[in-house]
Amino acid sequence: MAKTIRLKLKSSTGKAFTISMANPKPEIEEAGGKAIAQAVVDQLLEDQPLTRTIAECTGVDIVDRTVKKIL
């Protein structure tokens, strides 16, 4: 089972894009997880660490998937 946190963002030109990171802290799924995610988004919006300008965050998801090898 592999978990990924996915930040859904929109650039200043209106183009949607995502940032995905493996192995999010388990706390992100607990009661205070929304505040943790919001703090990360706020920091990204403040720091603008990418070559494109982040205008807004449209959502944050935890993706949980199981990979089953068959060959």
What's the whole-number mean pLDDT along residues 47-68? 93
The answer to the question of residue 44 being in a domain is: yes
Predicted pLDDT of residue 2: 85
The answer to the question of residue 70 being in a domain is: no
The answer to the question of residue 71 being in a domain is: no
Grade residue 67 by pLDDT with cuts at 50, 70 and 90. confident
- E-strand ranges in 1-71 read 2-11, 16-22, 54-65
Task: Centre a 10 Å sphere on the Cβ of residue 9 and count the other Cβ atoms it contains.
Answer: 22
- Neighbour order of strands in the sheet with 16-22: 16-22, 2-11, 54-65
Q: Say whether 27 sits in a helix, a strand or coil.
A: helix
The answer to the question of residue 10 being in a domain is: yes
The answer to the question of residue 40 being in a domain is: yes
Kindly compute the dihedral angle of the four CA atoms of residues 49, 54, 56, 62, in this order, to the nearest 10 degrees.
-50
Convert the pLDDT of each residue in 1-56 to its tens digit.
689 999 999 999 999 999 999 999 999 989 889 999 999 999 999 999 999 999 99
Predicted pLDDT of residue 70: 93
Domain span at residue 19? 2-65
Question: What's the whole-model pTM score?
Answer: 0.82
